[in-house]
Amino acid sequence: MARPTGTKRDFLRLTDLDRSELLELVERAAEWKLLGKRGPRPLEHATIGLVFEKASTRTRVSFAVAAYQLGGDAMMLSPRDTQLGRGEPIRDTARVLSRYLDCLVVRTFEHDKIEEMSRYASVPVVNALTDSSHPCQLLADLLTVTERFGADALSKGGLSVAWIGDGNNMANSWLEACVLLGFDLRIACPEGYDPDPKLLARAGGHARVVRSPAEAAAGAHVVNTDVWASMGQEGEADERKRRFAGFIVDEALMQKARPEAIVLHCLPAHRGEEITDGVLEGPQSAVFDEAENRLHAQKALLELLLSPR
As a whole number of angstroms, the distance between CA 196 and CA 194 comes to 7
User: What percent of the chain clears pLDDT 70, i.e. is strictly above it?
Assistant: 96
* Active-site hit among 284, 294, 296, 298: 294
pLDDT at 6: 57
- The answer, yes or no, to whether residue 187 has pLDDT greater than 80, is yes
Catalytic position from the list 28, 60, 107, 186: 107
Our answer to whether residue 134 is catalytic in this structure is yes
Q: Is 114 exposed, middle or buried (0-12, 13-18, 19+ CB in 10 A)?
A: buried
Q: What is the pLDDT of residues 89-117, one digit of tens each?
A: 999 999 999 999 999 999 999 999 999 99
Catalytic residue chosen out of the listed positions 178, 226, 296, 298 = 226
Mean pLDDT score, 12-24:
98
> Catalytic residue at 226?
yes
Alpha-carbon Rg for the chain, nearest whole angstrom, is 19
pLDDT at 288 over 50: yes
Q: How many CB atoms lie within 10 A of CB 283?
A: 7
Interhelix angle 19-35/169-181, rounded to 10 degrees, is 110
- Pick the catalytic residue from 137, 178, 221, 284: 137
Instruction: Tell me if the pTM is above 0.85.
Output: yes
The reply to whether 270 belongs to the active site is no
pLDDT score at 236:
81
pLDDT above 60 (res 279):
yes
Question: What's the pLDDT tens digit per position in 207-253?
Answer: 999 999 999 999 999 999 999 977 667 778 789 999 999 999 999 99
- Known catalytic residue: 277? no
Question: What does the pLDDT look like over 44-96, one tens digit per residue?
Answer: 999 999 999 988 999 999 999 999 999 999 999 987 777 776 788 999 999 99
- Inter-residue contact 64 to 302 (CB < 8 Å): no
Q: Is residue 266 flagged as an active site residue?
A: yes
**Higher-confidence position of 6 and 137:** 137
Query: Active site residue: 103, 189, 266, 296, which one?
Result: 266
Which one of 28, 134, 186, 296 is the catalytic residue? Answer: 134
